[in-house]
């Protein structure tokens, strides 16, 4: 009888360990996919999504096989004519994704299209908190502009062209921006996430 209980306990422990390992592997796959993916906003719904994205990539100088997966987010039932559903583009590498983010935001014929990084759930929560703080700072300091870029809160005086990285309390930070390695950022250097003017 004791042998049977011991075997059952071992089986349950093994099943739990396998389940935890499977969850961890799924999280790692999601993180990798997010690292390699960008979210394209304002690609018109009446376009064939795949053709629209591959045409845009070609205009930006990307090889035809740069993207491994292109999908319109949301369902057709959520179709809102005034605001197209975003498109997720998974690239072959994180480097290609970063190049796409930088090039698209410099591209002159983009028809109001812009791209943001694909975020994990934890990153989405952090971005939400930063946007709430940005809105709070903007309401208390109308003489300044605030925005969230690449997971960082930034601010500048309305008369200035230079953005400064801020800590969560709205004070200037000493650390450099993770992409440019500069403590201050010009108005055109980073991808568009969210801004308060």
Looking at residue 77, its pLDDT comes to 62
pLDDT at 27 > cutoff 90: no
Q: What is the pLDDT of residues 87-116, one digit of tens each?
A: 999 999 999 999 999 898 777 566 678 888
Please report the domains of the chain, with CATH numbers, ordered by start residue: 34-117 (3.30.70.330), 121-196 (no CATH)
Q: What is the pLDDT of residues 67-90, one digit of tens each?
A: 999 999 887 665 556 688 999 999
Q: What is the pLDDT of residues 158-178, one digit of tens each?
A: 888 888 888 878 888 765 443
Q: What angle do CA 124, 130, 134 make, to 5 degrees?
A: 140
CA 132 – CA 6 distance, rounded (Å): 52
Least confident of 31-35, 38-42, 106-110, 143-147: 106-110
State the CB neighbour count (10 A cutoff) for residue 137: 18
CA 176 – CA 190 distance, rounded (Å): 13
pLDDT at 28 > cutoff 90: no
The residues with which 149 forms a beta bridge, in sequence order, are 152
Between 160 and 186, the higher pLDDT residue: 160
What is the DSSP-derived secondary structure letter of residue 146? Answer: E
Looking at residue 180, its pLDDT comes to 35
Looking at residue 57, its pLDDT comes to 93
State the CB neighbour count (10 A cutoff) for residue 196: 16
């Amino acid at each position: 009888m004791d042998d049977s209980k011991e075997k059952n306990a071992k089986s349950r422990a093994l099943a739990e360990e396998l389940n935890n390992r499977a969850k961890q592997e799924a999280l790692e796959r999601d993180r990798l996919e997010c690292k390699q993916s960008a979210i394209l906003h304002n690609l018109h719904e009446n376009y064939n999504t795949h053709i629209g994205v591959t045409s845009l990539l070609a205009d930006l100088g990307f090889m035809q096989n740069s993207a491994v997966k292109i999908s319109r987010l949301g369902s057709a039932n959520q179709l809102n004519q005034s605001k197209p559903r975003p498109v997720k583009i998974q690239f072959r590498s994180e480097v290609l994704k970063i190049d796409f983010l930088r090039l698209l935001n410099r591209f002159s014929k983009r028809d109001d299209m812009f791209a943001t990084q694909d975020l994990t759930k934890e990153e989405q929560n952090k971005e939400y908190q930063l946007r709430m703080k940005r809105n709070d700072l903007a309401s208390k300091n109308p003489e300044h502009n605030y925005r969230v870029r690449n997971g960082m809160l930034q601010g500048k005086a309305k008369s200035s062209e230079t953005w400064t990285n801020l800590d969560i309390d709205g004070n200037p930070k000493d650390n450099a921006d993770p992409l440019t390695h500069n403590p201050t950022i010009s108005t055109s250097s980073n991808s568009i996430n969210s801004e308060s003017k």
